[in-house]
Chains A and B, each alone.
Chain A
Amino acid sequence: MTTQQHDPSVYEQIGGSERFQELKRRYRSWAFPMTVAFLAWYLLYVILSGFARDFMGAKLFGNINVALIFGLLQFASTFLIAWAYARHSAAKLDPLADELRHEIEGAATDTAKDTAGDKA
């Protein structure tokens, strides 16, 4: 992959673009709450094991108690979040990124044409 050299204005152009701001917003509004929820979910498990022993030790069927089910759910939730992130990125972020690329590269090509025109 080759990278084109740009003058600094292209960064200002991207930074000012509504699509770029929307992209950042979509990323942040997914990633931050999810990280907090994920950590809280794990920390809650520790607290419940310490201070809600009767609840965690309640047998659901056979030797299977609430703590075991919760533990397995934590295991599953880690995978689910990673998978959801991949889905979210593919569905919400990548298309917008492509639009942004067309916007910027389209503009860059136009500029190049203009410059070529000036020379001719």
Chain B
Amino acid sequence: MGVSSVSSVIAIVLVVVAAVLIGAFGIRVSRTTSDFYVASRTVTPLWNASAIGGEYLSAASFLGIAGLILTYGADMLWLPVGWTGGYLVLLVLVSAPLRRSGAYTLPDFAEARLESMAVRRVSSVLVVLIGWLYLMPQFQSAGLVFRTITGAPTWAGGLLVAVVVAVNVLSGGMRSITFVQAFQYWLKLTALAVPLVFMLLAWGTNGSPGLQPQDPWALPLHGREHPVYATYSLILATFLGTMGLPHVLVRFYTNPDGRAARRTTLVVLSLLGAFYLMPAIYGYLGRIYLPNLDRPDAVVLTLPGHLVGGVAGDLLTALVTGGAFAAFLSTSSGLTVSVAGVVGQDMLRIKDGVRAFRVATVLAVLVPFALAGTARALPVADVVGLAFAVAASSFCPLLVLGIWWRRLTTAGAVAGLLAGGGMACGAVMVTIIGGPHTGWLGALLAQPAAWTVPISFTVMVVVSLLTPSRVPPNVARTMVRLHTPETLDVDRGDWRPRST
């Protein structure tokens, strides 16, 4: 190993140790099951917003966006725009009523609103599928980074992340995760910002070279086939999919009240906006200096060494590597907590809540790790985009119609979830296993949201109207609960799933 690799390995070790230590620091306060799940609602807005940012900025944001922007140009800027804008849609349409429902996971909401175990089970399966689809590329990217740095086989990096996440989640649960996540946001911001400053200085002393003449990179709608369709689909998936991501929703419950939740969202938008400016510049510089990179996902790692060079370059590479591992660890931890919560409550027949959560944690990490080894390595931001598309075509209609439309029926909800979620999952499978395909079919499969979201909404509405007898009996009371201000001290049902 050269000096560069050694300093990068040290950076990885530091990030891992820091994550474990901060996690252990939180153990003292997390003892009961409810501490594990919602951190007792005692987290302040800035901490919580940093934690949301830290959890949300995954390998796709840290590595993937810059890679896609390098390859396909300005169109890919819609990814960060949508990943930020989704929070606004979530805030305005869903967050307040959902907090009031007293249910803090998507399956809880589905059951509380529709009074049906069938809807709950379908929702649970979808949450787990979305979580695994999101986790898989995190492990793959960890493998890619670890291989780039040390030459180790690709499974090694994924295994490292999987083990650290499992240990961290098992030892601390949500409370410690909040502190880990908040720390990770600031680490990731620093890890991209400091190298960027040095790179821009180097670029300036280089005479600020621009793009090749005739490079259509900066022109809109030039990157991929059927760009208008693909962009519309991407916007729909990201804006509407954010509300259906299991690890995002749980965070809104760690605010003490609705006002704090709104303040948190404002801070989140600023934090994400600040962060997402940087991958765009990385992509631009990458297009100038490293246009023919073998794996564009690695551009963030290779660019600092290429541009700055020497010991400074090694140190900057180490910093970026540390930041990348922070990204893998934080997103994977948050997703693992959410997936394990659902698996532990709904899929395992274990009575002891804490023990069920532990078994579920192992399962939540193991399956995507196995998938990461077998599935083809598509660009990480594309795979994460597919997870958004599944969420937008299943949970977005369920949440929006569930909160705002009284006539939604059990049958309608199940049909819509199965139709939208099922078709989006099918498109994802075909793309991951056999793709990427070309032509119109390829575009429709690679960006399914533009057709699966309308289908899901339509099926839910039409089936609901056809089955008016299946409106849940207590819908009037549930609607009052959802829309009664939180300051009103009524019994919202200290919501617990029924034992089956």
Contact = CB atoms under 8 A, between A and B. Distances in A.
Contacts of A86: 262-263, 266
Contacts of B227: 50
B234 to A, nearest CB: 9
A20 B483 CA distance: 8
B164 interface: no
Contact of A14 (B221, B266, B488): B488
Given A11-B477, A43-B235, A6 B265 contact: no
A58 B485 CA distance: 49
A35 B487 CA distance: 25
Given A34-B92, A42-B85, A85-B91, A4 B490 contact: yes
B93 A31 contact: yes
A102 B182 CA distance: 38
Interface residues of A, number: 51
Interface in A1-52: 1-6, 8, 10-12, 14-15, 20, 23-24, 27-28, 31, 34-35, 38-39, 42-43, 46-47, 49-50
B497 interface: no
B270 A89 contact: no
B81 A14 contact: no
Contacts of A5: 491
B270 A93 contact: no
B404 interface: yes
B490 A82 contact: no
A5 to B, nearest CB: 5
Interface in B78-118: 78, 81, 84-85, 87-89, 91-93, 96
Contacts of B294: none
A61 interface: no
A83 interface: yes
Contact of A82 (B88, B96, B487, B494): B88
Q: Say what secondary structure dominates the interface of chain A.
A: helix
Contact of A20 (B239, B269, B484): B484
Given A4-B490, A85-B262, A46 B231 contact: yes
Contacts of A1: 489
B89 A104 contact: no
Interface residues on B, range: 35 or more
B429 interface: no
B114 to A, nearest CB: 17
B263 A8 contact: no
Interface in A78-120: 78-79, 81-83, 85-86, 89-90, 93-94, 96-98, 100-101, 104-105
A105 B489 contact: yes
A63 to B, nearest CB: 11
B221 A50 contact: yes
Contacts of B235: 39, 42-43, 46
B201 interface: no
B221 A49 contact: yes
B232 interface: yes
Contacts of A101: 485, 487-489
A24 to B, nearest CB: 5
Interface string A53-92: 0001000000000010001001100110111011001100
- The 3 lowest CB-CB distance pairs between A and B, nearest first, are A97-B485, A49-B220, A15-B480
Interface of A: 1-6, 8, 10-12, 14-15, 20, 23-24, 27-28, 31, 34-35, 38-39, 42-43, 46-47, 49-50, 56, 67, 71, 74-75, 78-79, 81-83, 85-86, 89-90, 93-94, 96-98, 100-101, 104-105
11 contacts: A3-B490, A15-B477, A23-B483, A38-B89, A46-B220, A46-B221, A75-B81, A79-B269, A97-B485, A100-B484, A101-B487
Interface of B: 77-78, 81, 84-85, 87-89, 91-93, 96, 220-221, 227-228, 231-232, 235, 239, 258-259, 262-263, 265-266, 269-270, 273, 404, 476-477, 479-481, 483-492, 494
